[in-house]
Structures are given as structure tokens and as C-alpha cells.
Amino acid sequence: MIKAVARRVAAGVVVLWAAATAAYLALLAAPGDIVDAIIGDGADTPQIRAQIIAEWNLDRPAIVQYLDYLLRAARGDLGRSYLLQRPVGEVIGEQILPTVQLALAAAVIGVVLALVLAVTTRHRWVRRVSSTAELMLVSTPPFLSGIVLLSVFSFRLGWFPVAGDQGWAALALPAVTLGLPIAGVLSQVLRDGLDRALDEPFAVTARSRGLTERAVLIRHALRHALIPAVTLLGWLTGVLIGGAVIIEQVFGRPGLGQVTLQAVGNGDMPVVLAVVVLAAAAFVVINTLADLAYLLIDPRLRRS
Amino acid sequence: MIEVQNLRVTFRLGQKSVEAVRGVSFDIREGECVALVGESGSGKSVTARSLVGLAGPQAHVEADTFTVDGRDVSRFAARDWRRLRGRYAGLILQDALVSLDPMRTVGAEITEVLRTHDIGDRRDRPRRVHDLLDAVHVPEPERRARQYPHQLSGGLRQRALIASALAGGPKLLIADEPTTALDATVQAQILTLLAERRATGETLLLISHDLAVVSKLADRVLVMKDGRIVESGDTRTILAGAGHPYTRQLIAAATGRRRENTAEPGEIVAEATALRKVYGDRTVVKDFGLTVRRGEIVGLVGESGSGKSTVAQLLFGLTDPTSGHVRFEGSEFSGIPERARRPIRRRLQLIAQDPLSAFDPRWTVRRIVGEALPKGADPEPILDRVGLGPEYLDRYPRQLSGGQRQRVAIARAIAPRPSLIICDEPVSALDVSVQAQVLDLLARIREDDGTALLFISHDLGVIRDIADRVLVMHDGRVVEQGPVRAVFDHAGHEYTRALLDAVPTLEVTS
Amino acid sequence: MTIALPRPESRRLTLRRPRPGIAAALIVLALVGTAVAWPALFAGDPLAADPLHVLQAPSAAHWFGTDQLGRDVFGRVVHGARHSLSIGVAATVIAVGAGILLGLLAGLTHRYADEALSRGFDALAAFPLVLLALLFIAIAGTGTTSLIVAIGIATLPHYARVVRAQTLVVRQAPYVTHAVAFGASRTRLVLRHVLPNVLGPIPVLAMIGLGEAVLIAAGLSFLGLGPQPPSPEWGAMLSEGRGYLHIAWWASVLPGAAVTATVISLTVIGRHLQGRFEGRHQ
């Protein structure tokens, strides 16, 4: 068991290292001088150039540059934005809370809705309607659903604020917008897992004990159906972070998305790199947790 | 206890409907053991499951009379069925590895029955679970109850499954192929356990494809074919003078028929000396030696994990031995690069248990057999030899029945005129009547071509029917070998004797 | 999202998606295809502004109404099909092509090469799609080509992983063992058995993946990172119309609806083909 946990954690660290390296290589691959890439649209003075060369060790051998970059990243030092003249950590730290709020709220909405949809819509006609609805949810771009929700609930009905970040009311529409496609995907996967589990011989055995269909579903099948759904947790993290960029733009919410978009627009590479590596780190952590969750859910995996 | 008149079960699959059971009538009395025998697709499992209302969500069940425990179940609501299940009738399925929930402990599975039917109070249940496990002879019940199905051996798992079926104290036990997934020795133990349950007063309904398995236990036998009962009567009468040709065919298949070799074996085709194979820290094959001569059929018997499949891989040159040699047609075959083996590859062929996965799914029969023939050769005569007409040439493997697929596999194997064919459980996945036909075909090929066969099987009956010589493997070692007659009649090694005792045989008294 | 979901045989027969859905999806795709190939068939100049008729509601003259410059929204949606789809198609071609190549490389070569490539796919897959595309755009600049390559790279790991996994399965399949019995060489095994069986399901996967690529492309265009105005791209149109949402919903919602209809149709057809494909291979 401990060995299995250690192996998964080690795999996570390797992926994290590879992701940080990939981001570093992307910076190297940028056209032109690396100093230019880091400055972006910021002020270009000899002092700033010297500062960048010092921070990134550009006067040292390439291997030192790379190792020092890794070391800084491992210590959580995200570098400095020369455009904003501030440490990147500070810029991100100020804006991360609204994004985390949005992502968590959307995740809760997505997961709860998916569970409810998958478990309650077992009947033939209901599930057909529900499947179609899920397909619509998955295929609708979040900026469209966001705009439709805005126009109905904010402009027409005036129930929610149109933009900004004023408490829970302002969080409701963005979280729903981001949560809907997640619910669509998760409920499809859960429903498929339930179907499969209910076809297994152990489900027949459970029924032959006199269990109600609901008990077979909740006590036996659901646990089996959770496994493919847990696989999607890493993917879910990516969708939440990527989706947040778009949702924040639609609803005019502050957050990491706005920071990132501004940085991309201004060519502020240190900020873009930091956000991307941070997102990859979040993915890896969640994915590793998901791997460990398998061990809890499925006793058959605990052996190796 | 159960009375059924004219039971019909229809499955609706999209627009089509399939009649699985077409008018079946029978009854089961208290204390009896009734066996329902038939091959795959005969409708026996569907019939049995209908008795507890579990024929499936797409099934439509009709009957003129259908009573269980004196009550008319055709008026049963879902709730009435649930009261009956587990309490009045317990169901035991094949292979406890998948029939018990793999994610729950054995104890939790058994407790579930107690809780569902409100038997005993909460604190009392662990003790009841231990008693139940004890009753089916599971040693150390306290420890086993905390384990998951995959942590138990095949035999213990199956016992635990039976314990869960017994937990509600049912009067009727329905056992659907309860021993099919098990090794012969374990199979015998489970049958003994079922006999014991019967002695304690439970009524048994056994469902099996194997007449020999049920003949020991059953008072009466119902033979099913294509959704109908073609014959029924008490076991002895059925076995003695069966009237229906299908029953006779089943009996013949179960008693087996020896296919004697008339020709003298020729020169040595393949030879293995002192083979040893180690995987990690496990020695899977130890000191294995074998010679196969032209025109010979050599049987290799062993239970799962005995190392017989590894031997097949070593002889076939898929993996190299850790030490020892394989020689084929007089030249070294092991420890050489694959490139050097390629020119003689066609002289050594393979027939596997599951022919479907052994064919490229995108290929037609024509292309599959054509691959084995010289370029441009007509595949028709070869197909004809295995008893398939030209109409099969353009079919895909998945469009064929199991028996037809195995015939195609044989056609592919004999097409390059090999000197040796390794047959790895070639009939294990087939119905008994089809098994006999495939064995006939293999024996005839040996006769006509002088091809040597290495016949690997866990089924002693099959080996007895076709092999000239036999090697018995246990724990990676050959524990006994010799001519089939000698080994079967006077087994020297205790393991061989245990294997032989465990084989269910038909005692036909006529 | 593209998730391969093989179903047990018995279920597939009862749960097959309703036929009308497939017919509708085919019609939508045919319309979109025609719009891509020959937009003039449906509508005139997408750039022609008419300052006298701005933000008019849908009518017989303007089926989808007009936008803030008085341009015909329907005409812009029709002409936008070419922009939006070509980005998706080109990105998918890149992703599938490179994915097949890298996946085969990982699946067929030495263990260490496989390990290295697989970790590479893992690392690439660790970046959220949108952020990976943003990173690429930050480096290479905005514009259609950038967008195509960015989405191509971001969706590549999915195909590479599928191809690799499938290659490993096929390599170990008993029918490959049997081909060894006929003295087939490694090259022959790969060409005759492994490649066809690995690549078989790819077109269907690519079709479902195309829907996803169109969705991301529209999203990035919405953020202003794709074709620049006045190009009629669906995501960009939605972004432009957003400012007038409270008085003219049609200028933003209808281009968005075009994205949804296209993606749903691609997914429905893709899944249908996938179901048939799996049924054929069971």
C-alpha cells in the first residue's frame, strides 16, 4: 500500500518536472532574444536588461540557467514581472482567490448535478431526455451559455448583478455557467459506469438477495461507476482553470483569467509562464490525489 | 415448491424479439435435487432466473401456471419478488470473482442478506456471518470475512458465495453452473458441499452444461435444447436408455470416446530437454523434458498455474527458456534469434482456446486461411477438409459460431502442412457436442497427414479421448508420464490420482 | 469531450440514439459544409455595413437581424463558417498527424523511448488546453496560424495516448502471435496487423475531436486571440455583439448557436460511428 502510494507520488513529481521543463523550453523557443521575450511590452532600459540577465542567469552556461530555474520554481519563486515592476507571486496572489472561489463553486455544482442526473434518470424516457440535455451542455461554448444566462437573469429579470465580484450573488451565474458542461460530461461517464456495473454478475447476485433496485444502485454499482469518473478529476481541473479565463471575461470578474489575458496581450512572459506552470501543478496534484482515491475505492488495486 | 406450465420468455432487443424459452413445464418438490442440463443458448439459465423474477429488464415472461411456494407469481409486484429472493430461494452463480461484489468484503456481502431481510439484530450479525462461513467449511472465518473476493482462492470464494446464498435460510438453492470456472479438484469439493446442503434439507436446482457434473447429485434431470425441454425423467432412467437423440449425444459427449492411434509413431519432431523458466523470483517451469514423434498426440495436463501454458510458449519459441533446450526438426529452436527461426516457423503451428482473438478482426476467412497457404493457392479445399463450405470464405470471424471459428483456426494451422501443432485448450470454450466434432477432426488430421499434436488441457476427459501419451504437470514439474491407458488406470503419483478422482464421470448402468 | 465509451452489446441495442437526431445532425453538417465551400450561395457580402439599419431584430430581409454596424448577421454567420471550421480542421489535422506519429513511436520502440514519450504526453496533458494555447500565442503572437498550431499542440496528447495504448494492445493480441507462426517479420507484422488495427478507429475519434477543436477555437477567438475584426468568425462575432446584449441578443446569441449546432452535430455523428465501429469489432 505504502509502495503504491509512493509510486504514484513519484510519478506526479516527474510529470511536474517535465511540465516545468516544457514551459522553460517554450520560453527558449520564443522568437528573438530571451531578454526581449521577458520584457514584453514593458520599459526597455539597460538597467532592466541587466536585472533580467541577473535573475535568469543569462550570463552563465545554459545548464546552470535551467537548473537555477528549476530550483527557483521548486522553492515557489515565480520570478518578477518587469512590465508591472512587481514579483509575479504578488500579482497572482492578489487575484487567485476569486478564481479559486469560482472553480470550487463550479466543481460542486458540476459534481452534484452529475450525480443527481445519473442516479435519478434511470427510466428509459427520462434518460433519453437527460442524455440529449447533457449533449447540449457539453457542446455549448461556455461564453454562449454565460451570455444567455446573463441576458435572461441579469438584464431581463435583474436577479443577479451584471458584472464584477460583489459577493455570492455575483458568483452564482459564472459558477453555473462553468459547472454545466462539467455536469454534462461527468453524468455521461457516471451513467455509463452504472449501466456497466448493473450488467455485471455481482449485481444479479445482489438482486437475488432481495435488494431493491435503488439499493443495488447505491450500495454496489455507484462505487464501480465512480472509478472512471475519478479518472476525470485531472481533466476537470484543467477545464475549470481554462474555463475560468473565458468566464471571467464574459462576466467581467477579476481573477487569474484577467491577469493572464492582460499578460498575453502585453507579452508579459514571466506572468504567463507562472500561471501556466501553476495550472499544471494544480493538475498534477489533483491527478495524484485521484490516483490515491482509486486505492481507497478499489481494494483490488491495493495489492501491487 | 415450484410449478411451471408452459413458461415462455421473450427478449425484446430493439425491433427484434428473441424467444429464449418456448413453453417449458416442470415442477420441483421439497427435498429434491433437480438438474437442468443444456448447452449454451438452450435457455436453461433464463428459465432458472425467471423463477426468482430475474430474467432481466428486457425479458417478457408468460406462463399458463407459475407458482412458487404455492403462490401465483404472475401477479407478483416487485416488492413480493424481493421478499422471496434470498429468503425463500438463494441464487448461486458461476465464478465468485465477479459474482460477489469485488469492492466489498466477503463479510459485508453476507451481512447484506441478513440486513435486507432483517435477520438477527445488529450486534449478532458478525457471529452469524462466521457461522455461515463455518458451515460451508471456510477455515478461519473471522479473518476471511474481512477479506475481499480477490484475496481468496477460487474454491474459498465459491464457498463464500454459497454462504451468502444460504444466509437468508432459503428452502430452495438455485445453482447456475456453480463449478464451471473451477479446477477439477476444487470442483469436486464444491459438489460435495452442495450434496451436504441437500442432506440438511435444502432443495436444489442445478443448472449445468455438463451432464456428468449433475448426474452425481440430481434425482431428476431435465434436458433443454433451443428453449424447450426435450426430455425429462429420473437420472438413472435418463442415463440408461435415453430416448431423445440429443440426450444420447450429450451422454456420448460426457462419457467420451477414445480415438485410437493405428499408426506407429515416426521420427522425432520436437524435443525439449531440461527446460527451466524463471519469472522474477518464481520458477514457473522446472526440469521439463519432452519428445514428440511424427503422428503422435501427446497430452499435457495440469490445473491453472501448473506451468503448462508457459511450456507452450517455450516450445513455440515465443519466449526463451532460462536454461535448457528446445530442438525442432533436428535443429536448435531455443536461444536463437527470431530471424533464424523464421524459415522453419511454418512447420510449427498453434491452435488457441479462443479463436476469435486469434484472428485479425478485419480479415475474412479467405484472407485468414490464405495467409497460411502459398501465394495464390485456393483456400477452398482446405476449408472443405475442416468441414466448412465455400460460403464461409467471405465471412468475418465474428460472424461464425465458436465451433466454426475453431474449424477455421484448424484450417489455418494445417494449411502450411506443419509437422507439429501445439493445441492450447482447443476445445475448452466449446459446447460438449461441438467438442466431440472438433476432436474427431483433429484425430483425422493426425491420421491423414501424420502431423504430431501437442494437446494441452486441464480436462482429463479430453486427453483420455484423444492422446496417445500424457504428461501430468503440477507446480511447474512433470509429476507423471506414460501411455494414456497406463496413467489413467494405474496412476502412480498421488496428484494424478487426486485429479482423476475429481473428474466427474457418468456411470451408465445398462 | 472525447471519451471512448465501449458499451456492452445488450445495452447498445436498446440505447441506440434516436434516428431523427442523426438525420438532423447530417442536415446541419451538410449546411455547414456548403457554407464553407460556397458561402455566396446563401448570403451576400458579410462586411457590407448599413448605418441606417443597425441592430435590427430578425426579419424576412435579415433572418438573424443586423449587428451594431448594420451588417447582416446571417450573412456573417454563413461566411464565418469557413473561418471557424478551417481553424478546427487544420488544428485537428496537426494534432491527429503528430499524435499518430508520436503514439506509434512510443508504442513500437524501446521501453525507454516509450517511457520518455509517455511522460512527455503526460506533461503536455497537464496544461489546461486553453492555457497551453494562451502560452503559445503569447510566444508566437495572435493570428489564425498561431491559433491553429496552438490548438493542434494542445489536443495532440489525446490522440498520441490513444494510438500508443492501442498499439500496445494490438502488439500483444493473439492474432499477432499467430502471424509469428507464419514467419512474418517485424515490419510485416506492423504493416499488416498493427497499423490497420490501430488506425482504424482514428477517423471517428478525430471527428469527435474536431467538435472540441471548433469549441476551443471559438473560445480563443472570443478572447480576441484569433482572426481579427472585421473577419466574421463565430467566437469573435459573439464577443463584438456582447456589448449590445441588452438591446440586440441576436447579434451574439445566434453566432454562438451556430457553434453549438455544429459541435453537437459532429459529436452525434462521431458517437454514432463509434458505436457502429465498436459493434463491428466485438
The answer to whether residue A223 neighbours chain B at the CB level (below 8 Å) is yes
Nearest to A146 by CA among B150, B191, C242: C242
Q: Closest partner residue to A202 among B83, B101, B168, by Cβ? A: B101
∠ Cα C265 C270 C272 (to 5°): 100
Q: Is C131 exposed, middle or buried (0-12, 13-18, 19+ CB in 10 A)?
A: buried
Q: Give whole-number Cα distances, C172 to B320, B321, B488, C103, in Å.
A: 17, 20, 37, 16
Which pairs from A42-50 meet CB under 8 Å and 24+ separation? A42/A81, A42/A82, A42/A83, A42/A84, A42/A85, A42/A266, A42/A268, A43/A82, A48/A82
Q: What are phi and psi of A157, to 5 degrees?
A: -95, -20
* pLDDT given at position C163: 94
Contact partners of B by the rule of 3+ C-beta pairs under 8 A?
A, C
- Record the cell numbers describing residue B67, joined without a space: 407458482
- How far apart are the CA of C281 and the nearest CA of chain A, in angstroms? 18
- Contacts with C, B 168-197, CB within 8 Å: none
- Average pLDDT, whole number, for chain B? 89
- Asked if residue A242 and residue A282 are part of one domain, the reply reads yes
CB contact under 8 A, A199 and C268: no
Question: Which segments of chain A have a pLDDT < 50?
Answer: 304
The answer to whether residue C281 neighbours chain B at the CB level (below 8 Å) is yes
Q: Quick one: closest CA in C to A277, which residue? A: C127
- Which residues of chain A make contact with C222, given a CB cutoff of 8 A? 141, 143, 246, 249
pLDDT digits (tens, 9 = 90+) for B94-120: 888 889 999 999 999 999 999 999 988
Q: Quick one: closest CA in C to B370, which residue? A: C182
CB contact under 8 A, A220 and B165: no
- Asked if residue A139 and residue A37 are part of one domain, the reply reads no
CB contact under 8 A, A205 and B164: yes
- Asked if residue A260 and residue A116 are part of one domain, the reply reads yes
CB contact under 8 A, B345 and C175: no
* pLDDT given at position B109: 94
The answer to whether residue B360 neighbours chain C at the CB level (below 8 Å) is yes
Q: Of A52, A74, A96, which residue is a domain's last?
A: A74
The answer to whether residue B358 neighbours chain C at the CB level (below 8 Å) is yes
Q: What are phi and psi of A89, to 5 degrees?
A: -55, -40
Q: Quick one: closest CA in A to C14, which residue? A: A124
Does residue B475 come out as left (phi exceeding 0), alpha (psi in the -120 to 50 range) or beta? left
Q: Quick one: closest CA in C to A154, which residue? A: C246
Query: Domain count of chain A?
Result: 2
Q: Is residue A164 part of a domain?
A: yes
- Which residues of chain C make contact with B361, given a CB cutoff of 8 A? 175, 197, 280-281
Mutation target vs B (from C178, C185, C187, C191; most B CBs, 10 A cutoff): C178
The answer to whether residue A193 neighbours chain B at the CB level (below 8 Å) is no
- Asked if residue A244 and residue A294 are part of one domain, the reply reads yes
Q: Of A74, A104, A126, which residue is a domain's last?
A: A74
Containing B401, the helix (H) or strand (E) segment is none
pLDDT over threshold 90, residue B220: yes
CB contact under 8 A, A141 and C222: yes
* pLDDT given at position B106: 94
Q: Where are the beta strands (DSSP E) in B280-375?
A: 282-293, 297-301, 323-328, 331-332, 348-351
- Asked if residue A70 and residue A119 are part of one domain, the reply reads no
H helices of B395-483, in order, are 402-414, 432-449, 460-466
* pLDDT given at position A163: 66
Q: Of A40, A74, A108, which residue is a domain's last?
A: A74
Q: Quick one: closest CA in B to C192, which residue? A: B360
The answer to whether residue A224 neighbours chain B at the CB level (below 8 Å) is yes
H helices of B2-105, in order, are 44-50, 78-84, 96-99
- How far apart are the CA of C127 and the nearest CA of chain A, in angstroms? 5
CA distance A71 to A81: 18
How many percent of chain C have pLDDT more than 90? Answer: 15
pLDDT digits (tens, 9 = 90+) for B202-212: 999 999 988 88
Q: Closest partner residue to C137 among A136, A264, A275, by Cβ? A: A264
* pLDDT given at position A208: 93
pLDDT over threshold 80, residue C4: no
* pLDDT given at position B318: 87
Q: Quick one: closest CA in A to C254, which residue? A: A144
Q: What is the mean pLDDT of residues B224-245?
A: 86
- Residue range B256-347+419-510 in CATH 3.40.50.300: yes
* pLDDT given at position C278: 67
* pLDDT given at position C237: 86
Q: Closest partner residue to A199 among C11, C119, C140, by Cβ? A: C11
pLDDT digits (tens, 9 = 90+) for B239-279: 887 678 888 888 887 777 788 877 788 889 999 999 999 98
* pLDDT given at position A165: 60
Q: Quick one: closest CA in B to C170, which residue? A: B360
* pLDDT given at position C2: 33
- How far apart are the CA of A205 and the nearest CA of chain B, in angstroms? 6
- Asked if residue A60 and residue A126 are part of one domain, the reply reads no
Q: Name the pLDDT band for C25 (thresholds 50, 70, 90).
A: confident
Q: Closest partner residue to C128 among A128, A238, A272, by Cβ? A: A238
Domain residues for the domain of A121 are 88-301
Q: Closest partner residue to C135 among A143, A239, A272, by Cβ? A: A272
The answer to whether residue C8 neighbours chain B at the CB level (below 8 Å) is no
- Which residues of chain C make contact with A31, given a CB cutoff of 8 A? 139-140
Look up residue B297 and give its DSSP letter.
E
| Pairs of CB atoms within 8 A across A/B | 78
The answer to whether residue C4 neighbours chain B at the CB level (below 8 Å) is no
| Pairs of CB atoms within 8 A across A/C | 163
CB contact under 8 A, B14 and C196: no
Q: Is residue A18 part of a domain?
A: yes
pLDDT over threshold 90, residue B408: yes
Q: 10 Å Cβ neighbour count for C68?
A: 15
CA distance B346 to C183: 6
pLDDT over threshold 50, residue B66: yes
The answer to whether residue A214 neighbours chain B at the CB level (below 8 Å) is no
CB contact under 8 A, A283 and C211: no
Strand-pairing partners, residue B173, are B90, B204
Q: What are phi and psi of B116, to 5 degrees?
A: -60, -40
- Record the cell numbers describing residue B469, joined without a space: 501419451
Strand-pairing partners, residue A250, are none
Q: Is residue A186 part of a domain?
A: yes
* pLDDT given at position C82: 85
- How far apart are the CA of A3 and the nearest CA of chain B, in angstroms? 18
Q: CATH code at A228?
A: 1.10.3720.10
- Which residues of chain B make contact with C280, given a CB cutoff of 8 A? 361, 398
Look up residue B358 and give its DSSP letter.
G
pLDDT digits (tens, 9 = 90+) for B329-361: 988 998 888 888 888 888 999 998 888 888 988
Does residue A290 come out as left (phi exceeding 0), alpha (psi in the -120 to 50 range) or beta? alpha
Q: Name the pLDDT band for C5 (thresholds 50, 70, 90).
A: very low
| Domain residue ranges of chain B, discontinuous segments joined by + | 96-169, 256-347+419-510, 355-416
Q: Quick one: closest CA in B to A295, which residue? A: B103
- Which residues of chain C make contact with B412, given a CB cutoff of 8 A? 178
Q: Closest partner residue to A18 among C119, C136, C219, by Cβ? A: C119
- Asked if residue A189 and residue A94 are part of one domain, the reply reads yes
